[in-house]
Amino acid sequence: MTALDLGSVYRSLGVRGVINASATLTRLGGSLMPAPVVQAMADAAGSFVDLEELHRKVGERLATLTGNEAAYVSSGATAGIVLTVTACLVGLVPERRVLLPDTSTLPRNEVIIQRGQRNVYDLAVRQTGARVVEIEPTADALESALSERTAAVLHFAGVLAAGTLGLDAVVMAAHRRDVPVIVDAAAQIPPISTLWRFTGEYGADAVILSGGKGLRGPQASGLILGRRDLVEGCRFNGSPNHGIGRPMKVGKEELMGLLAAVEWALDQDEPGIIAGYEASVTRWVDGLAGISGVRAERAFPSEAGQPHGRAVVHLGPGAKLGRDELVAALWDHDPRIAVGTAGDDAIALNPQTLQPGEDELVLQAVLDVLRPDRGVLDHGSH
């Protein structure tokens, strides 16, 4: 798609398309689905099917592809947290399923999270009725918090794991008390090994991923991988069953789309893709050199802790625009450009979500609004 037809499908509503140099953000649409995923979803939309049978068969295929005991497709990674925690709370007991979110009579109703990993997705735990037990990031604190009331330990991978107790130590302590460990790795692809690394190498009981980020599947999809009994608990409490997961519906299109996305992702040249990301970062850093008040540098890893670089563009004295002004000017540009922020004085340019050639459009847009001899609204040939 060229800059001229970017987002043309939205124009009848007066909505503009976006070149996404920020990240695989839900508010920007996650990621772009490759052709095999779109085709799989279109094919699935053409006929009715026994949805529960399809759900189970897709899960079996995904488990085989990823080297896990079992797999379940959720309606996003946050829904994956809700369902996995619910599986730890009520298992396969119908009488317990209907109690939620009242967990007061359940044998186990606490979920442990390290203080440095607390974040807005805690709500997915709390909406089950589970009580979050916050601990300091030490082995002693974890040992003290583990009890007969502990339903699970939730561990957030990526940048939130920095400075906290490592997953290997968490798994070892939790398993001594027969407590499952759930890993939220929603945005941790790349690397593709996230599909099996946390469960296989570290021994976590379940890992949760977004289907619509690095996997480039449907945005309204997520993937739960891990122990068979936990996955069955997710299935038992999820749609179309009438448990807490009933609103978190996954359609036949998302099921087949996510399966196609995983198959597609496993077939990609990941080192080559990351090399392409790094080439974009180099192009940005070199292209922004010499502009008054601007300092561009490569930063590693990405904002989510993924193993590739991004360009961080600092705006100091002498820069034509401040950070927030630059973000606004790029959003108003034609084409519209979304960028991230870093610290108090910088924007961050992420190559992961760009189509071929869009890194050049991003560079030109930044130059358009930062060069002293260009007006903020002068967008050249764009």
Cβ atoms within 10 Å of 317's Cβ, excluding its own? 6
**Mean pLDDT score, 286-291:** 96
Helix axes 252-266, 51-66, angle to 10 degrees: 10
CA proximity to 134, closest of 355, 67, 126, 5: 126
pTM exceeds 0.75: yes
Tokens of 182: 């759930």
Report percent pLDDT > 70 for the chain.
Answer: 96
Assess whether pLDDT exceeds 70 at residue 377.
no
Whether a cis peptide bond, with omega within 30° of 0, leads into 301 is yes
Query: How far apart are the C-alpha atoms of 219 and 221, rounded to whole Å?
Result: 5
Tokens for 38, please give them: 């779109």
The model's confidence at residue 371, banded by pLDDT at 50, 70 and 90, is: confident
Residues in Cβ contact with 258 at an 8 Å cutoff, skipping those fewer than 6 apart: 58, 62, 73, 211, 215, 217, 218, 221, 223
C-alpha distance from residue 282 to each of 269, 285, 287, 360 (Å): 20, 5, 8, 11
Residue ranges and CATH numbers for the domains of the chain are 8-30+269-370 (3.90.1150.110), 35-266 (3.40.640.10)
> Per residue in 208-224, pLDDT tens?
999 999 999 999 999 99
Q: Between vectors from CA 11 to CA 10 and to CA 17, what angle results, nearest 5°? A: 60
Q: Give the pLDDT confidence of 27-60 residue by residue, as tens digits.
A: 999 999 999 999 999 999 999 999 999 999 999 9
253 compared with 375, residue with greater pLDDT: 253
Banded pLDDT at 374 (limits 50, 70, 90): low
What pLDDT shows up at residue 7?
76
Give the C-alpha separation, 230 to 208, whole Å.
Answer: 12
Mean pLDDT, rounded, of the chain: 95
CA 170 to chain centre: 22
pLDDT band at 258 (very low <50, low <70, confident <90, very high): very high
Q: Please tell me the predicted confidence (pLDDT) of residue 272.
A: 98
Statement: residue 3 has pLDDT above 50: no
CA distance 250 to 150: 29
Give the pLDDT band of residue 4 (cuts 50, 70, 90): very low
The answer to whether 355 and 7 are in contact (CB under 8 A) is: no
Residues 306-310 have a mean pLDDT of 97
